[in-house]
Amino acid sequence: MANNKTYILIDYYNEIYGFVNSPNDLNAFYASQDPPISISSLPRDPDGVLTQAILVNVKTKVESHIRFSTGSTLCITNNLL
């Protein structure tokens, strides 16, 4: 069984993990939990970067961060400016 997802999401705050490809997948992942998790409730720093969740590229093993771009919209970033 092949994994076609790029990242594994590790959420330490909610003690969950899953495979995702995009910000849309992140939203769907949190919405599919029982009970659903509102992404706006996730802990973040003053710059909007999630502090208790990371993404790891399953092929390269490179860690990426998840950031709120606007409101409750998430984006994936390798650079934190």
SS (H, E, C) 24-51: HHHHHHHHCCCCCCCHHHCCECCCCEEC
Range of the domain at 23: 1-53
Closest to 19 measured CA to CA, from 32, 34, 29: 29
The answer to whether position 80 is within a domain reads no
pLDDT for position 38: 92
Structural element, H or E, at residue 23: helix 23-31
User: What is the count of structural domains for the chain?
Assistant: 1
The answer to whether position 37 is within a domain reads yes
Provide the CA 8 distance to its chain's centre, in angstroms.
8
pLDDT for position 23: 86
Closest to 74 measured CA to CA, from 3, 7, 2, 4: 7
Q: How do residues 23-45 score in pLDDT, each as one tens digit?
A: 889 989 999 999 999 998 999 99
The answer to whether position 71 is within a domain reads no
The answer to whether position 78 is within a domain reads no
The answer to whether position 24 is within a domain reads yes
pLDDT for position 81: 37
Q: How do residues 46-56 score in pLDDT, each as one tens digit?
A: 999 999 999 99
Q: Is the pLDDT of residue 80 over 60?
A: no
